[in-house]
Structure 1
Amino acid sequence: MARGRGKRKRALRELVAPFTVSAPAGARIRDRLRVSAEEARVLRVVGEHLGGCARADLAERVRIGKVAVRENRRAERKRVLTRVSSSRWAGAITRTSEDQYQLSLQCLFHERASLRRATSKIRQRLAVPCGQRAGGVRGYPSRAERAQKQRRLQVLTARLADVEARIDAGHPAVVVGGRRLAKVRHHLTDAGLSESGWRERWEAARLFLTADGESGAPYGNYTISVDPVDGTVTIVLPEPLRHLANAPRGRYRLTCTVTFHHRRGEWLDRVTAHRAVRYDITHDPDRGRWYLDASWSTPNTVLPSPVELAATGVRLLAVDLNAGHLAACVIDAHGNPVDQPVTVPTNLTGPASQRDGRLRQAISELIHLAKTNDCAGLAIENLGFDDARATGRETMGRGKRGKAFRRTVAGLPTARFRERVRGMAHHAGLVVVAVDPAYTSRWGAQHWRQPLQQQSKTTVVTGHHAAAVAIGRRALGHGLRRRPGVTAHDQRIVVRRATGQTVPHPRARGTTSPPRTTGTPHQGTKTCRDRSDPLALLPVSQDRSGGQPASPVYGDPANSGQHR
């Protein structure tokens, strides 16, 4: 009592109710364009011309600043661009410029919120003397660290002032081609690139070959058209480049064809009905390949809520995202773990394309596991670490442990995992339920790790598997605590699983079993009695003279439900 009297009990965090992750709002497929050297030259010329027009329009949009949508002078800018391209190319360019401007402005807002949180946290800790606490705020442990944080506060304050000035002026900084690639130009040796190699990447990133779809146009797009019969690709050339046309009405037709093997049926349904399909032509200088992407919007799909899923009595595959692997466990409708937990490795190192491919492979294994166990969907945590990443070191530990924890958080592909799971699970006919991640690891390890290990004789159960059980139970509306005696090592409990942990179902009247005697067959799977068996403790007298065994004793049929 004296030990716990001085400690303040921390209040539990308020939990957010589980929700169903919405279905993807669009679809995007890709096929390779096997163009010749002459066709690649034409595509590069057209992309550079339209890319210069797009950059000029984006600069004009930034100069206009933060205004209402009706005051961004898009119609005026479109008329100027139509003279050097076409009306449809100009519409795609102005639409892309507006989207890019709004996204850059939103990034400024997020950066401002991040800097404000970081500076506020540092000021709170600087107000407390070194090695002391005041009102739940801990001061820095040493003067050296305090001095370093003071310098960092000055840097963050200067950055915050610059961001606020950009927001007030409505002039975000946009680098067409990517700021990261632009910085690589000054560190070519460290990046392992030559100047010509970097230049090729830079020019490929600044090409503009995007054509928005239009309902009612031939095959859903007038600017870049793909014939669904033979797969030929036709491009409308800008006005100054009409001399390069090899087809009627200022068009350039490629000799190669596209097939779109992935989701070809959906693409054919749209293009044959002349519904809008957007096309993007991109160039990969590392492989020397050209690609054609087709994208379109999908109708809104009403998915069942977690309450509706729990009412139907379905199974869920609970997944716990960790650094280096995914821990999964099948959860039935009553919240019981089924079979043994599974670990899916995810080696998310190397280039971005390899990381994405390995993540897709891991998600494919989860989907296969869910279908094999007749699961209706997947249960995941609604992880983001937005506040932690924004505040940075001030709330994510210090020293070696803090550095290791920050590295672990940075290595978790939370946003990419959520988006990949949402799209791939929806196409596989599965529902994704997101739950609050609070206390899943702590309570899962406390209540479910040992019972899972007793149940799984050949699998080493970790705290991540126990956290997956907690995630699945929370998605189905159950509590995270385990009822005593459930999933124990006793044979009768293992074979005849206890169900309805949270809502016990009482036995109906008139259906009790008759009392067992030596003449009644054993209902369970035990072949011998131990000393804990009531029949062994209270044996029934038998006739050992060689006569007939005693007849079984039946209860009242009105109470037992048995008939003679």
Structure 2
Amino acid sequence: MDGLREVAASFVVPSPAGVAVRDRLRVSDADAAVLTEVGVFLGSLAAGDLAERSRQGLGHDAASWAVRKRSLTGRSSARWAGSITKASHDQWALARRGQAAHMAWLRGQITSIEARLARPLGAKGDRREGLVRGYGSRAEWHAKSRRLHALNDRLAVVEADWAAGRVRVVRGGKRLANTRHHLAAAGLDEQAWRQRWQAKRMFLAADGESGKRFGNETIRATDTGQLSLKLPAPLAHLANAPYGRYVLDAPVEFRHRGQEWLDRITVNRAVAYRIHYDPARGRWYITASWQRASAPVLPLEAALARGVVGVDMNDDHLAAWHLDVHGNPVGAPQRFFYDLTGTAAHRDAQIRHALSRLLHHARRCGAAAIAIEDLHFSDGTSREKHGRNKRFRRLISRFPTAKLKARLVSMAAEQDIAVVAVDPAYTSRWGAQHWQKSLSTPARKISRHDAASIAIGRRALGHPIRRRTTPPPSHQSDGAGHRTAQARPDTRRREETRPRIPGPRTRSVSPETERKRATRTSSTARDVRSDQAWVQDSLLLTD
């Protein structure tokens, strides 16, 4: 069709290669004081190393990395120096990726504004012609032209930083640093802000190393739950164990994936640890992470062998519907609600709860795959795309597409359920057009989101979203036979009539009918089709 973009092929999302689990450390006051002193000291070293790495910019190489590591080794230890330099390098690389994404966003905004400024005031857009709409008034045109100059200036600054290899990083977070100037609005005093700032800038992280005892020599957690860490050289006087180590009183017990973690450390496989403090709760936590062996991606045909559960992600709920291998909706639609207001921890808990219910529903249905839209919303929050519709832009901005998808993939992998990503083009529109009205009854109203879940599931299965049109009247009776009830898109002659199979299901005339009809009297002669109850095939819907 003209004006419609090409729909990308569906694919099975690879399972995550990394695992991270967290446990609370119920430390004593003495342990908390030692952890704080060590974290603040290593945090100061990490801040200086990050500044040095940022000054080197694009001129960084292996030799300069070795110089930085030797400098830190004398002030801490070789393993702490390796962890600090690696963290600095990763932070610089992350900032570079953020610069690239910011430049791409600025260029997209500039292109969009320039295209609309070139159009006459009040001009309507035409997607088929590739024309955007013009601005509604002269005042809006003038305001957008000023914004265009501001965006060009910002782009020039970012491009200059990119060419020079210069990044702008704040250890502890830019948002928290700006909060220092707005304490009253944040509801904090200077002491409370200082505690958060210090906790964010502490450094207590160590990468694992296979072959070493329990997979990590710097921060070591044994199979009995004992936790200890190697102290930096200037703080060796705090040690309470041989070889400059400090053993904490708090035991480590990972309840989630605990057996998997135990299996790794007992064979001395690498496990990375990070210890951090939450000043809002006054609690210490430890996070263990490791990499898994890359599992082969399940073929799409194998994942869809038992049908699929199509899922339409929305601002406040997940709309799901189970589809069989033929693309027919089975049972009733399901909705799993969540609330995205409140704190980040509350939103994350809501998402996890909704996804858990979705996975339980998929297992009850017997499906081995869940189909979702491959949403990115890369330009969905643009003011040029949605104009003054601030409510819709705010809705898209707070919708956690990346987090929801990552959570679903990781949780589904533990349940042996595949996640199939489909192109989101026209799923809501075509689902409502072809399925919403046909499935609605006086007792059950089908929403647009429920219909979209069917469209998503059918696209994952390889079926067209639209339902087959109603056959002509001659094909609706037995005069010309019925069309194929169900057939895959690659089935030959699927648009032709079904073969004439004798029996009451097809109302076909038996070969013995003429002989029996000849022996009947005129008073008892009846039409054979009138005394046979016709039963429609259970597969009502077609491709």
What TM-score, normalized to structure 2? 0.87
Whether the 8 Å contact between 1:341 and 1:459 is mirrored in structure 2 is no
Gaps of 5+ in 1: 1-8, 491-496, 521-537, 555-564
* Aligned twin of 2:373: 381
Q: What does the per-residue CA deviation read over 1:167-221, in whole Å, with 9 as the maximum and x for residues that have no partner?
A: 1111110001111111111111111111111111111011100011000110000
* Aligned twin of 1:405: 392
2:132 to 137, 153, 161: 137
Name the CA shift for 1:438/1:510 in 2 (closer, same or farther; >3 Å). closer
2:232 to 231, 235, 238: 238
Q: How many residues align?
A: 501
* Aligned twin of 2:447: 462
Q: Give secondary structure in 1 for the equivalent of 2:289.
A: strand
Amino acid at match of 2:387: R
- Supply the distance in 2 between the matched residues of 1:69 and 1:513 (Cα, whole angstroms): 80
Residue 81 (structure 1) aligned with residue 81 (structure 2): no
Amino acid at match of 2:342: G
- Supply the distance in 1 between the matched residues of 2:487 and 2:505 (Cα, whole angstroms): 26
Gaps of 5+ in 2: 477-483, 511-516, 533-543
- Supply the distance in 2 between the matched residues of 1:353 and 1:27 (Cα, whole angstroms): 19
Residue 472 (structure 1) aligned with residue 457 (structure 2): yes
**Alignment RMSD:** 2.8
* Aligned twin of 1:534: none
Shift, 1:370, TM fit: 0.3
Please identify runs of 4+ aligned residues in structure 1 that moved more than 4 A: 501-511, 514-517, 540-545
- Supply the distance in 2 between the matched residues of 1:31 and 1:317 (Cα, whole angstroms): 33
- Supply the distance in 1 between the matched residues of 2:215 and 2:61 (Cα, whole angstroms): 27
Whether the 8 Å contact between 2:380 and 2:393 is mirrored in structure 1 is no
Q: Give secondary structure in 1 for the equivalent of 2:76.
A: coil
Alignment of 1:50-61 (within 5 A): 50-61=42-53
Amino acid at match of 1:171: R
Q: Give secondary structure in 1 for the equivalent of 2:379.
A: helix
Whether the 8 Å contact between 1:309 and 1:476 is mirrored in structure 2 is no
Alignment of 1:90-169 (within 5 A): 90-132=81-123, 136-169=131-164
Residue 453 (structure 1) aligned with residue 440 (structure 2): yes
- Supply the distance in 2 between the matched residues of 1:351 and 1:373 (Cα, whole angstroms): 34
Whether the 8 Å contact between 1:126 and 1:139 is mirrored in structure 2 is yes
Amino acid at match of 1:513: G
* Aligned twin of 1:523: none
Amino acid at match of 2:186: A
Alignment of 1:476-555 (within 5 A): 476-484=461-469, 498-500=485-487, 502=489, 503=491, 504=494, 511-513=501-503
Name the CA shift for 1:452/1:70 in 2 (closer, same or farther; >3 Å). farther
Alignment of 1:73-472 (within 5 A): 73-132=64-123, 136-228=131-223, 230-310=224-304, 313-389=305-381, 392-395=382-385, 397-399=386-388, 402-454=389-441, 458-472=443-457
Q: Give secondary structure in 1 for the equivalent of 2:276.
A: strand
Q: Give secondary structure in 1 for the equivalent of 2:335.
A: strand
- Supply the distance in 1 between the matched residues of 2:506 and 2:403 (Cα, whole angstroms): 59
- Supply the distance in 2 between the matched residues of 1:309 and 1:253 (Cα, whole angstroms): 48
Shift, 1:498, TM fit: 4.9
Name the CA shift for 1:84/1:516 in 2 (closer, same or farther; >3 Å). closer
Name the CA shift for 1:501/1:463 in 2 (closer, same or farther; >3 Å). farther
Shift, 1:507, TM fit: 9.4
- Supply the distance in 1 between the matched residues of 2:379 and 2:362 (Cα, whole angstroms): 32
Q: Give secondary structure in 2 for the equivalent of 1:388.
A: coil
- Supply the distance in 2 between the matched residues of 1:41 and 1:413 (Cα, whole angstroms): 37
Q: What does the per-residue CA deviation read over 1:29-74, in whole Å, with 9 as the maximum and x for residues that have no partner?
A: 0111100111101000000000000111000000001246546x11
* Aligned twin of 2:513: none
Q: Share of identical aligned residues, percent?
A: 46
Q: What does the per-residue CA deviation read over 1:271-318, in whole Å, with 9 as the maximum and x for residues that have no partner?
A: 0010000000010001100001100001111122323434xx312111
Q: What does the per-residue CA deviation read over 1:457-477, in whole Å, with 9 as the maximum and x for residues that have no partner?
A: 654310000000000000111
